[in-house]
Amino acid sequence: MRSLILALCAALVVLPACKKADPNSIEDQVEVLKKGKTTKIKIKAVENLRNIGKKEAVPGLIEALKDSNSQVKLEIARVLGELKDPSAIQGLADAIDYSVGGGSDKMTQDANAANKEIARALGDLGDKGAVKPLLKLLKVTKDNYVRIETIGSLGRLKDSTAVEQLSEVATDERLETFINKKAILALAEINDPAALPAYMRMLFAERKGVSFYPESAFGIFLLGDAANDTILSVLKDENKELLTWAEERKVLKPAIYAKAAQIESDLQDRRSIPYLLKLLGYDDANIAYKLFVRMAAADSLGRMRAKEAIGPISKMLDEEEANTRGAYVRSLVQIGDKSVVAKLADCSQKGSWSAREFCMLGLALLGGEPEIKRLEAFANGEEKLFMKECEEGYYGEVDCAAEKAKNVEARTKTIATYKKVLETIAACKEGDDKCLESALTHAEPVVRERAAYELGRRMAAGSLPALFAAIKRPVSDVVDLNPRFAAICAIDWITSGNPSAMAQAKPEARGLEAQVEEENKKTITMKIAEEVKRLAVKLNRG
């Protein structure tokens, strides 16, 4: 019987008088962690220390790291990361297994799992003293999950000494594409101009059907003015190093021009305007490439609200390709100069219905009360125009008479919607911003879009709460994305150069960041979430 009692005491870890270890005592649980006979017992002790949650446990946890197996190391690292005591850095660094390979056996997997958790903990500690061991781990690890966690921690620590190595990882074509992307995102968190060469390469890189443009473009956006000269050198055809790199990888020149133009919509460097205007006339034997570059230039000029572009783009509204004409119309809408209304009315009667409709949309987003009668006239003439288009073969070999009724009905319904936009806005008298705010909640998306743009054009700082509410309005269909984008633009216009409006808007940044985190998970809102994210950055910068 005596030997049985002794055995039971040993299993519980011998304390004075064979006392059972108190799960709420740091001292007792550290002792169990040191002397526990099994991995299971030790892991339970670590869990108890986590539940206690006091930094007094840190020295004991660090000491236990020295002799623990990989499974216990993992659990200890997790707790140390949660306790966030920088004194744990050296202990965690010493616990890293820098020699482990990338095998699939259990011992290797356990060692890499521990390294992964240690890497995360080092980042969670929030102390730049963790950068050196993390860089060493990133250099030697063969495990992608360890790489991801190490890269993430380096990003959170925001130390510029990590930029060189992260840039190497970002541009390493031997690595998996998601590793490259993670490295670009980490560089963006650090936000150091030294990362610009890596961004520039990955901006134009594509591998295994994966583009690195979104992550690289956001990194460049965060750099702001520090990136201006480099992007401008691309538009001016002066960045020889990048052009050589791109040529070696068979990156098409039109892609370089188009992406550089798109970046200017973020940077808003007005020195780029002459070069973007030049790209409006870009020519290429491949019509798709030609139009791609022209649309990118028009979009950027529109977002910059460059009045210099009004004349050149207005002359391009007879473009037959519908989506390209649509890009030109939207550019003019953003610039917001109502002198183009006559041009929009003119192109509403030229080309296919798909192309003409964009011009009518432009009238809805820029026109005034006189355009209501113009739209009525357009609706009355649609039957004749449909028959003309159909007989000229726009729609292939179809029975024009049989197709006429449903097509004309659909067109007149669309025109009636645009007419409703103008009627709603016309009802809001000059200076009546509250009326426009009410229109931001209208059931018709195009009405909401026009109302947002109009408030932005009026620089209506008092309407900022209503515009933020428009951004937060749930998206149930793609048609809801345009009014949200208009509200983003309006807030950007109102707050730029207006310190009082910026101070009023700045507290909304945190809510926008939370919205981005949620909407990045949904396909329908993923793209517009990038615009919301950029607005949040601008507000945080103030």
DSSP string, 91-109: HHHHH--TT-----SHHHH
Whether the Cβ atoms of residue 285 and residue 252 lie closer than 8 Å to each other: no
Same domain, yes or no: 295 and 332: no
My answer on whether 118 and 228 are in the same domain is no
Along the 542 residues of the chain, how does pLDDT read in single tens digits? 445 444 444 444 444 445 688 988 999 888 998 888 899 999 999 999 999 999 999 999 999 998 889 999 999 999 999 999 999 999 999 999 999 998 889 999 999 999 999 999 999 999 999 999 999 999 999 999 999 999 999 999 999 999 999 999 999 999 999 999 999 999 999 999 999 999 999 999 999 899 999 999 999 999 999 999 999 999 999 999 998 999 998 999 999 999 999 999 999 999 999 999 999 999 999 999 999 999 999 999 999 999 999 999 999 999 999 999 999 999 999 999 999 999 999 999 999 999 999 999 999 999 999 999 999 999 999 999 999 888 888 888 889 999 999 999 999 999 999 999 999 999 998 889 999 999 999 999 999 999 999 999 999 999 999 999 999 999 999 999 999 999 999 999 999 989 999 999 999 999 999 999 999 999 999 999 999 999 999 999 98
Indicate if 136 and 27 belong to the same structural domain: yes
- The pLDDT, as a whole number, for residue 11 is 47
Task: Encode 257-293 in three state secondary structure.
Answer: HHHHHHHHHHHCCHHHHHHHHHHCCCCCCCHHHHHHH
Report the largest interatomic distance among the alpha carbons of the chain, rounded to a whole angstrom: 107
Which position has the token pair 């950027």?
300
Helix-strand-coil split of the chain, %, nearest 5: 75, 0, 25
Q: Are residues 187 and 296 in the same domain?
A: yes
Count of Cβ atoms closer than 10 Å to residue 232 Cβ? 18
Q: What is the CATH number of the domain that holds 21?
A: 1.25.10.10
Same domain, residue pair 496 and 475: yes
Q: Which of 395, 427, 459 is the last residue of a domain?
A: 427
What is the reported pLDDT for 18? 53
Q: Is residue 404 located within the same domain as residue 439?
A: no
Angstrom distance (rounded) from CA 71 to CA 82: 17
**SS3 sequence, 230-253?**
HHHHHHCCCCHHHHHHHHHCCCCH
Separation between Cα atoms, residue 255 and residue 261, nearest integer Å: 10
Residues 191 and 242 in one domain: yes
Are 146 and 41 within one domain?
A: yes
Instruction: Provide the domain count of the chain.
Output: 4
- Identify whether residues 151 and 163 lie together within a single domain: no
Q: What is the pLDDT of residue 445?
A: 98
pLDDT at 1: 44
State CA 212 to chain mean position distance.
12
- Residue at which a domain ends, from 257, 287, 304: 304
Q: Provide the residue range defining the domain that includes 298.
A: 158-304
Alpha-carbon distance of 314 to 301, in angstroms, equals 13
Distance CA 530, CA 393 (A): 40
329 and 362 share one domain = yes
Rounded Cα gap, residues 335 and 457, in angstroms: 9
**The model's pTM:** 0.90
Q: Are residues 140 and 186 in the same domain?
A: no
User: Do 241 and 326 have their domain in common?
Assistant: no
Where is the domain boundary, 114, 136, 157? 157
Q: What is the 3-state secondary structure (H, E, C) of 150-202?
A: HHHHHHHHCCHHHHHHHHHHHHCCCCCHHHHHHHHHHHHHHCCHHHHHHHHHH
Predicted pLDDT of residue 525: 95
